[in-house]
Amino acid sequence: MDVLHRMCNFLSSTKGKKLLAVAAGESRLVDMAVTSNGRDFESRPLIERHYLLLAALWLLMDWPDRFVQACILARTTQSRLLSDWEPPYWFESEVRKRLDRSGYTPTEEEAKHAAAYLERTQQRVSGKSVGQLIGNPDSMAATAYRKQKPRTMTEEEMERFFAGIDEAIRSKPKGSRARLLLERDRAIFWFIRLTGMSQRQVRTITVAEALALAKMGRLAGPGRSKLEGVVLSYLRDVRPALVKSRDNRILFLAANGSEMCAEALRQRFVGK
């Protein structure tokens, strides 16, 4: 009962919404929007509770095979399922044993099932998508579905990309942390686009170096004035709200005021 209650809450949370989607898709439940506004299970409308309960029951039937398969498809790992509570042994042991992805090597059979699921749900079958589903995009099993390297974005696609970021920025309240970080991301993207720098160079470039590059760098014409505009507006509107120490000379800062790590930068890119 404890697990069922926990699953109902988990499925309605952001971290559990992918698992809920898989449960709805696989069980042929009528898909229904569940608001993730921090409410607990008891305070949700009856129809939502009914839906969540059905999804949780479906997942826990045929324990543990169905549950594990759904978690793999939803990329839900043991740490998300086991954090912040004390699960019963029967639940914890199976979850740890079968959903701990560290050092995991997927089989061809698993890749085949993942590809079939992607096709069934009308998603693109690629090395990356199959690899993500089976937990290791670099595995031999996933590589078999790999096609060619992604091409470089066209100018038109690039414009749409930046328009998307602008739209996301406008959707956030002025002065909010989320808006601030999006504005920083936009500056980073423009900086990379205009300078062609690697992510490592962009992470470590100082304010002085960036200003020098913008004012007298190798860029010519509109590119240079655009770069200068990007740097100056970032320094005026965004960086002062992120910087914690006056001694910090790094241009692009993480939300905590320190230099961004490679993974953080990559995650921001991938998320866009």
The candidate with the shortest Cα–Cα distance to 177, out of 259, 255, 267, is 255
Q: For residues 33 and 216, which CB has a smaller minimum distance to DNA in the complex?
A: 33
Q: Is 81 helix (H, G, I), strand (E, B) or coil?
A: helix
Tokens of 165: 């970021």
Helix axes 65-74, 108-120, angle to 10 degrees: 70
Span from 25-33, 57-65, 71-79, 118-126 in contact with DNA (CB under 7 A): 71-79
Cβ at position 173, least distance to DNA in Å: 7
Q: Is 253 helix (H, G, I), strand (E, B) or coil?
A: strand
Q: For residues 41 and 58, which CB has a smaller minimum distance to DNA in the complex?
A: 41
Quick check: 144 binds DNA (CB under 7 A)?
no
Quick check: 127 binds DNA (CB under 7 A)?
no
Max Cα separation, the chain?
68
Cβ at position 137, least distance to DNA in Å: 4
Cβ at position 155, least distance to DNA in Å: 21
Quick check: 100 binds DNA (CB under 7 A)?
yes
Q: Which of 156, 167, 247, 263 binds DNA (CB under 7 A)?
A: 263
Span from 77-85, 110-118, 187-195, 224-232 in contact with DNA (CB under 7 A): 77-85
Residue by residue, DSSP assigns 93-151 as: HHHHHHH--TT----HHHHHHHHHHHHHTT----HHHHHHHHT-TTSHHHHTT--SPPP
Tokens of 88: 């019963």
Interface with DNA by CB under 7 A: which residues?
9, 12-15, 36-40, 43, 75, 77-80, 83-84, 100-103, 128, 131-132, 135-138, 176-178, 181, 198-200, 254-256, 258, 260-264, 266-268, 270-271
